[in-house]
Structure 1
Amino acid sequence: MLRSETGEDPARLRDALAGLNRYQSAPRPPRREDAPVVARVGRAMLRDYGGSGLPAVFVPSLINPPHVLDLAEDNSLLRWLAARNVRPLLVDWGTPGPDERALDIAGHVDQLLLPLLRAVQEPVALVGYCLGGTMAIAAAAHHPVRSLALIATPWQFTGFPISARDNIAGLWQQVAPTAEALGVLPMEALQASFWRLDPARTIRKFEDFGRLPTGDPRIDSFIALEDWANDGPPLTLAAGRELLADLFGANTTGRGAWQVGGNAIDPASVTCPVLNIISLTDRIVPAATAPGIGQSLALGLGHVGMIVGSRARQALWEPLQHWLSQPRER
């Protein structure tokens, strides 16, 4: 990627390598303690961020850890909401075990997410981010919820550029033998798939990082976010195959062929109020992939920037808080 993106420009190559070295060698502060667990189903947990308002269950993607929603002391969507009439409950998917190689994405909804929702024992709002939004649609089709908020949620995978779909489908062919042998799809392979969605930006961000002056507060923010992006447990073998081959490769959700609990999932069958938050500048999950349901909120922020960027509070946090704090009947 470095060779292809920097070409014949040795200054860009030098800056990108300097940024990578700065990132790798930077000291890391101790991680904050996780929020307490209030429900557990197998390896999956529901973490309670407090607050006295209505419960809202946040469903993160299976890819990368869930703490992007609680990234730092001064940059935490969940803790901010907890202080503003919302009780955030975060799904922590845990780490898959060796006996779960056959558990696909639909199985995560049926066997882990839906039992966690039932464990709350009261109607909840549901909030899904990225692939977690895809899963939240399926959950809302099976379980009564007060409302559903989708953040950068892919459904129509034909909305990805054809080059990205071909690259990711090709990636599965490359990694399938290793994944079959391990029983999981390692995070390294998943990260490579995201690099392929926007390789120019991947190199450019390290170039820019390498040029930041010592002591710039953006250094710590970059490291925290990049650590999150490069961390996380593997996917089960079946979930990895379903993501790369079936969703990206065959658009099973968009074609109406994706089944959870034996039933095909149609977003139009969700009867609760829906807020569909999309980004017009998202390179990871383009707006064209979003399901065509609900009340739309279009943002000019990137896939991660809408959650943790400098403009995230005004653009996304505040409208989401307003949405979640409205009392609704189940």
Structure 2
Amino acid sequence: MLRSETGHDPDKMAAALHGLRAYQAAPRAPRPAPMPAIARAGRATLLDYGGEGRPVVFVPSLINPPHVLDLLPDVSMLRWLSTQGLRPLLVDWGEPSPGEAGLGIAGHVETLLLPLLETAGRDAAMAGYCLGGTMALAAATIRPPAALALIATPWRFSGFPDEARAGMADIWEQARPTAQAMGLLPVEALQAAFWRLDPRRTVEKFVAFGQSERSPDAIRRFVALEDWANDGAPLTPAAGQELAEAMFGRDDPGEGRWTVGGRTVDPAALACPLLDIISTTDRIVPAASATGAGTRVTLAQGHVGMVVGGRARATLWQTLAEWLTRPHMA
């Protein structure tokens, strides 16, 4: 894949490999201390980031670890929000076992997310990032929160480029036999699918990392983010199948056919205020895949950059803090 994306340019390939080796050899900063778990549902836990004010349950994607929302002590949306009159609570999905092979995305909502929401209280709001937003929408249909904020959330999967949808189908077909034999879908399979959404950017960032002089702080941030991107628990085969076939394949959510807990999930029919934050430059979850419902805020930052980038606090973080503490939330 690296060779194809460098266009058989030996100089560019050498530069990318040099950057990759520099990343691998770079020192690692310790992860922030884990926050206390205040509730558990099966393997999933709800982590408390403290703070005074309304609880907000943050629902991360099943793909990659949840700590992108708490990347480093000074690059942590959740720790910052805890100083802004809110009490962030983070869902940690944990690691599935082969015995959960039949648990799909909808099943994660029904058996793990909804019980955790019950422990947060009826005045709690919710915020979902990426596929976590899709799942938060389903949970909000069954148990309406005080409000729901979506961050780079895919809903209308027909809004993804055709090649991205075909690539997801291809990777699932290749991974299916292994997933069924293991009872688990290695996260690397899905990471490869999302890597295909913006492969040139993946190569270019390692070229830039190897060629530029960076401060220790910039190296620390780059390494922490790449380590996060290359990490993650496996998925259940049923969740991988639902993502590849029902979502990317048939667009069941966007076509009004996705049901969770016996109810059809319809963003326009939610019984709570809805904020949908999208980005015009997001190549992982394109703006065309957004719900089209509720109040829309448009940014111009990448899928991950909007959460941890240099402008994240002034844009995404501040937007969330202001909306979640408005009078309409009373």
Aligned mates of 1:47, 1:214 — CA distance in 2: 34
Q: Report the CA distance between 1:131 and its aligned residue.
A: 0.3
Q: Secondary structure at the match of 1:197?
A: coil
Count of matched residue pairs = 330
RMSD of aligned C-alpha atoms? 1.2
Instruction: Say if 1:60 and 1:131, in contact at 8 Å, map to a contact too.
Output: yes
Q: Secondary structure at the match of 2:52?
A: coil
Aligned partner of 1:117 in structure 2 is 117
Aligned partner of 1:94 in structure 2 is 94
1:150 equivalent in alignment to 2:111: no
Aligned residue type for 2:185: L
Aligned partner of 1:131 in structure 2 is 131
Aligned mates of 1:208, 1:214 — CA distance in 2: 10
1:166-245 to 2 correspondences below 5 Å:
166-213=166-213, 215-245=215-245
Q: Report the CA distance between 1:176 and its aligned residue.
A: 0.6
Instruction: Say if 1:212 and 1:219, in contact at 8 Å, map to a contact too.
Output: no
Aligned mates of 1:287, 1:31 — CA distance in 2: 32
Aligned partner of 1:67 in structure 2 is 67
Deviation larger for 309-318 or 214-223: 214-223
Cα offsets for 1:241-272 (capped at 9, x unmatched) = 11112211111111111110122211112021
Q: Report the CA distance between 1:35 and its aligned residue.
A: 0.6
Q: Report the CA distance between 1:31 and its aligned residue.
A: 2.2
Q: Secondary structure at the match of 1:291?
A: coil
1:215-294 to 2 correspondences below 5 Å:
215-294=215-294
Aligned partner of 2:47 in structure 1 is 47
Q: Secondary structure at the match of 1:188?
A: helix
Q: Report the CA distance between 1:214 and its aligned residue.
A: 5.7
Q: Report the CA distance between 1:216 and its aligned residue.
A: 4.6
Q: Report the CA distance between 1:3 and its aligned residue.
A: 1.2
Cα offsets for 1:57-97 (capped at 9, x unmatched) = 00000111100000011110000010110000000100111
Cα offsets for 1:247-306 (capped at 9, x unmatched) = 111111111111101222111120211111000000000000000110000000010010
Aligned mates of 2:5, 2:146 — CA distance in 1: 47
Aligned mates of 1:217, 1:15 — CA distance in 2: 22
Aligned mates of 2:157, 2:221 — CA distance in 1: 31
1:28-47 to 2 correspondences below 5 Å:
28-47=28-47
Aligned partner of 1:312 in structure 2 is 312
Q: Secondary structure at the match of 2:80?
A: helix
Deviation larger for 41-50 or 264-273: 264-273
Aligned residue type for 2:33: E
Q: Report the CA distance between 1:162 and its aligned residue.
A: 0.4
| Structure 1 pair 214–134 and aligned structure 2 pair: CA distance change class (3 A) | closer
Instruction: Say if 2:31 and 2:72, in contact at 8 Å, map to a contact too.
Output: no
Aligned mates of 2:188, 2:24 — CA distance in 1: 16
Q: Secondary structure at the match of 2:221?
A: helix
Aligned mates of 2:49, 2:215 — CA distance in 1: 32
Aligned residue type for 1:234: P
Aligned residue type for 1:323: W
Q: Report the CA distance between 1:328 and its aligned residue.
A: 4.4
Aligned mates of 1:144, 1:263 — CA distance in 2: 13
1:58 equivalent in alignment to 2:58: yes
Q: Report the CA distance between 1:167 and its aligned residue.
A: 0.9
Aligned mates of 1:215, 1:151 — CA distance in 2: 30
Q: Secondary structure at the match of 1:217?
A: helix
Aligned residue type for 2:14: R
List structure 1 runs of 4+ shifted beyond 6 angstroms: none
Aligned mates of 1:54, 1:101 — CA distance in 2: 36
TM-score of the two chains, using structure 2 as the length reference? 0.97
Aligned residue type for 2:28: R
Instruction: Say if 1:146 and 1:328, in contact at 8 Å, map to a contact too.
Output: no
| Structure 1 pair 36–209 and aligned structure 2 pair: CA distance change class (3 A) | same
Aligned partner of 1:17 in structure 2 is 17
Aligned partner of 2:26 in structure 1 is 26
Instruction: Say if 1:131 and 1:154, in contact at 8 Å, map to a contact too.
Output: yes
Q: Report the CA distance between 1:325 and its aligned residue.
A: 1.5
Aligned mates of 1:325, 1:215 — CA distance in 2: 36
| Structure 1 pair 124–328 and aligned structure 2 pair: CA distance change class (3 A) | farther
Aligned residue type for 1:230: N
TM-score of the two chains, using structure 1 as the length reference? 0.97
Deviation larger for 259-268 or 129-138: 259-268
Ranges in structure 1 where 5+ consecutive residues have no aligned partner: none
Aligned mates of 1:70, 1:329 — CA distance in 2: 25
Instruction: Say if 1:123 and 1:144, in contact at 8 Å, map to a contact too.
Output: no
Aligned mates of 1:103, 1:14 — CA distance in 2: 43
Q: Report the CA distance between 1:2 and its aligned residue.
A: 1.6
Aligned mates of 2:24, 2:153 — CA distance in 1: 31
Q: Secondary structure at the match of 2:196?
A: helix
